[in-house]
């Protein structure tokens, strides 16, 4: 201890910050969901307790519940009061958006601001009612949520006295009190600590009567105790275990005692415990001399303050990296969510991330377009993706299709739908991806009799897939493969997005940006289109006319021998138009089959070709639309 002409200067053991991992997770959540880019200060609550273990000495801890659920709320609720192991201390958190902003903070100005609050609470008498304000603290931080690095620096503001406090005596409490007093003090301290009303009250009075009987009183009862002529010892919960130094809370407590009651000679008790009970051999009792500063007479004066925590003896911030303790999948989810929320905060405030994450997307085709669309959907927060494809990965595919590698091409090639899902889960383990191996039934494609049932099953399965998803992406490379899904989207009132070849250049360029196909405006498509379609196909397998053929005079179906099947390409010459009207501002696009398409249909064709019945269905759709 340094000394002066009157005796040694009293030295205090500073607080040491201890931050639970749950606090950083809570801060991450608060930053992402509430604070966003707001750097406004947030109220937090720290906790400490009387020292009962030398391995946990002078710690002030931040826990998950130290943060408020809302930045405007006080994190300290009534449920947290009365906990004997958590004496609360109010704090303030300044979290910056960048590391540069963290380093640029006016640290001395922030320390003075908190010291001023403590001084005002002392002068106003608030500290008598709520003594926890004497232990105010502040934290500055920067949370790098992409790398899970957290930079932080604590300050425990302590008002400085000029001249400093002089220590007269300091010894174990068991040697200061008489045996009778020591027993009584120990008993009343245990009672104080066992009561839920006072267990977490960190500063109090020990009043000892002439008959050695001790009682504990609140600070606001000081004048009453003084009038009774009892010996008064100012006590506080001491988080420090050192035998020759009291803990940090005593600094502001002595300033409060001197400024509030103008007391120059103070006897204080550093209350410590052993296994949860008062231990007067570990506790200290001391006597100190305080010379009130003449500057305190100035109402505008605020004492100087110290308190920035040292890091290994240096005035530098601390850093913790949680990536090694976190589940990789959870880290990936957090990092992905952060990117999306940054976009929403800065560019797209209306972006509904919850809607995107719950949207079920059906991708028809797992080729060049399907691979890229799947990755972009994941990048924008879509977590439920189903890929449909019947092909296998060829040697030329990995160069153009980003979800495949050379390994997927070996031994004849893996199925694209399954290989794509496997790759998506490697990229982002949290994605809920499913691969469906099936061919899309197409008009004009001959179907052998032995495959008719399989094609019917594929039609039903495609119907169920469209019906169970919210958005459908038509990413196949032929027009005929997109036709049936378009009708099913219209029937189920689902959003369909078209992107690929097979559209005339005057309508859209090859591999252009997505075009929506909205079912809501295709009023000509009957609501029972799927059942009608199935009935037509099934009836034709028996050589009977389907129910729709009787509704149109344009098309005649039959089973004449020698009839030539018509391919889809022959049906749609360059002078015909099976068009999707595109609108840039919305996706309400009518499905149109122009009348001149009729000139390209022969009068008779084989009814055993399912593709022809699909085309028949399209003609009926056109016919009904024209009648409307």
Q: What are phi and psi of 551, to 5 degrees?
A: -90, -5
Between 4 and 81, the higher pLDDT residue = 81
The 10s digit of each residue's pLDDT in 453-462 is: 888 899 999 9
pLDDT for 450: 87
* CATH 3.40.140.70 intervals, the chain: 17-158
Rounded to whole angstroms, the Cα distance separating 577 from 594 reads 6
Rounded to whole angstroms, the Cα distance separating 219 from 235 reads 10
| Per-range mean pLDDT, top range of 223-227, 600-604, 607-611 | 223-227
The 10s digit of each residue's pLDDT in 469-518 is: 999 999 998 888 888 998 898 888 888 887 654 444 333 323 333 333 33
Cβ pair 469, 358 in contact under 8 A = no
Q: Which fold has domain 17-158?
A: Cytidine Deaminase; domain 2 (3.40.140)
pLDDT for 264: 92
* CATH 3.40.140.100 intervals, the chain: 166-297
Cα dihedral 154, 247, 208, 223 in deg (nearest 10): -40
State in words which class domain 327-501+609-627 has.
Answer: alpha beta
pLDDT level of residue 297 (50, 70, 90 thresholds): confident
Q: What is the pLDDT averaged over residues 91-113? A: 96
The 10s digit of each residue's pLDDT in 216-264 is: 999 999 988 888 888 999 999 999 999 999 999 999 999 999 999 999 9
Q: What are phi and psi of 60, to 5 degrees?
A: -115, 120
* CATH 3.40.50.720 intervals, the chain: 327-501+609-627
Q: 598: buried, middle or exposed (CB in 10 Å: 19+, 13-18, 0-12)?
A: middle
Task: Give the three-class secondary structure for 590.
Answer: coil
pLDDT for 490: 86
Give yes or no for residue 311 having a pLDDT over 60: yes
Rounded to whole angstroms, the Cα distance separating 308 from 139 reads 10
Task: Give the three-class secondary structure for 327.
Answer: coil
pLDDT level of residue 442 (50, 70, 90 thresholds): confident
Give yes or no for residue 181 having a pLDDT over 80: yes
- Smallest CA-to-CA distance from 232 within 285, 274, 157 is with 285
Tell me which residue has tokens 């997005």.
Answer: 497
Q: What is the pLDDT averaged over residues 104-121? A: 96
Cβ pair 485, 615 in contact under 8 A = no
pLDDT level of residue 418 (50, 70, 90 thresholds): very high
pLDDT for 125: 92
Give yes or no for residue 338 having a pLDDT over 70: yes
Q: Which residues of 529-558 are buried (b: 16+ CB within 10 A; e: fewer)?
A: bbebbbebbebbbeeebbebbeebeebebe
Q: Is the peptide bond before 286 cis (omega within 30 degrees of 0)?
A: no
Between 69 and 315, the higher pLDDT residue = 315
pLDDT for 526: 34
Give yes or no for residue 377 having a pLDDT over 80: yes
Rounded to whole angstroms, the Cα distance separating 264 from 261 reads 9
- Tell me what the pLDDT averaged over the chain comes to: 79
pLDDT for 76: 54
- pTM, rounded to two decimals: 0.67
pLDDT for 6: 62
Strands 515-518 and 384-388: unpaired
Percent of the chain with pLDDT over 90: 54
Domain 166-297, CATH number (from 3.40.190.10, 3.40.109.10, 3.30.70.20, 3.40.140.100): 3.40.140.100
Between 322 and 392, the higher pLDDT residue = 392
pLDDT for 499: 64
Structure token pair of residue 174: 């068991």
Q: In which element (H, E) is residue 94 found?
A: strand 87-96
Rounded to whole angstroms, the Cα distance separating 483 from 430 reads 33
Task: Give the three-class secondary structure for 319.
Answer: strand
| Per-range mean pLDDT, top range of 386-400, 491-505, 555-569 | 386-400
Rounded to whole angstroms, the Cα distance separating 66 from 463 reads 52
């Amino acid at each position: 201890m340094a000394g002066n002409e009157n005796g040694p200067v009293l030295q205090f053991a500073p607080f040491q910050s201890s931050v639970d991992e749950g606090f950083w997770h809570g801060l991450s959540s608060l930053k992402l969901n509430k604070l966003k880019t707001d750097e406004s200060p947030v109220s937090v609550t720290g906790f400490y307790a009387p020292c009962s273990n030398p391995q946990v000495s002078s710690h002030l801890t931040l826990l998950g519940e130290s943060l408020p659920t809302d930045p405007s709320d006080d994190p300290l609720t009534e449920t947290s009061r009365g906990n004997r192991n958590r004496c609360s201390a109010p704090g303030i958190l300044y979290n910056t958006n960048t590391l540069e902003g963290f380093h640029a903070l006016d640290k001395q100005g922030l320390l003075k601001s908190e010291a001023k609050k403590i001084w005002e609470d002392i002068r106003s008498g608030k500290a008598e009612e709520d003594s926890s304000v004497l232990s105010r603290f502040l934290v500055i931080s920067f949370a790098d949520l992409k790398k899970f690095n957290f930079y932080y620096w604590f300050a425990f503001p302590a008002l400085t006295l000029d001249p400093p406090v002089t220590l007269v005596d300091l010894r174990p409490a068991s040697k200061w009190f008489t045996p009778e007093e020591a027993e009584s003090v120990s008993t009343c301290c245990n009672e104080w600590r066992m009561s839920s009303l006072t267990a977490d009250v960190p500063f109090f009075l020990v009043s000892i009567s002439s008959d050695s009987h001790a009682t504990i009183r609140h600070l606001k009862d000081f004048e009453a105790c003084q009038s009774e002529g009892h010996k008064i010892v100012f006590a506080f919960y001491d988080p420090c275990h050192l035998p020759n130094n009291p803990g940090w809370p005593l600094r502001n407590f002595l300033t409060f005692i001197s400024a509030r009651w103008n007391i120059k000679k103070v006897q204080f008790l550093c209350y410590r415990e052993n296994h949860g009970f008062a231990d007067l051999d570990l506790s200290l009792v001391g006597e100190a001399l305080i010379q009130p500063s003449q500057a305190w007479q100035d109402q505008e004066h605020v004492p100087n303050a110290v308190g920035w925590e040292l890091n290994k003896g240096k005035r530098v911030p601390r850093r913790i990296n949680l990536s090694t303790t976190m589940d990789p999948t959870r880290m990936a989810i957090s990092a992905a969510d952060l990117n999306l929320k940054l976009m929403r905060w800065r560019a797209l405030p209306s972006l509904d991330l919850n809607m995107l994450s719950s949207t079920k997307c059906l991708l028809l085709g797992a080729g060049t377009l399907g691979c890229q669309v799947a990755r972009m959907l994941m990048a924008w927060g879509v977590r439920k993706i189903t890929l449909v494809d019947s092909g296998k990965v060829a040697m030329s595919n990995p160069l153009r299709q980003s979800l495949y590698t050379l390994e997927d091409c070996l031994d004849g090639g893996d199925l694209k739908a399954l290989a794509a899902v496997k790759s998506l889960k490697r990229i982002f383990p949290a994605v809920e991806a499913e691969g469906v191996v099936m061919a899309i039934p197409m008009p004009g494609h001959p179907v052998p009799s032995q495959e008719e049932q399989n094609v019917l099953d594929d039609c039903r399965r495609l119907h169920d897939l469209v019906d169970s998803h919210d958005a459908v992406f038509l990413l196949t490379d032929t027009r005929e493969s997109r036709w049936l899904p378009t009708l099913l989207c219209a029937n189920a009132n689902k959003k369909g997005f078209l992107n690929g070849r097979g559209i005339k250049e005057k309508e859209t360029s090859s591999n252009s940006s997505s075009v929506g196909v909205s079912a809501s405006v295709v009023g000509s498509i009957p609501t029972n289109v799927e059942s009608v379609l199935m009935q037509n196909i099934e009836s034709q397998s028996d050589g009977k006319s389907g129910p729709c053929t009787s509704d149109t005079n344009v098309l005649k179906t039959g089973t004449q021998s020698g009839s030539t099947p018509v391919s889809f390409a022959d049906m749609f010459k360059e002078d015909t138009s099976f068009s999707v009207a595109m609108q840039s501002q919305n996706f309400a696009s009518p499905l149109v089959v122009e009348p001149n398409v009729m000139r390209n249909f022969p009068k008779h064709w084989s009814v055993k070709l399912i593709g022809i019945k699909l085309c028949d269905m399209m003609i009926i759709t056109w016919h009904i639309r024209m009648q409307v």
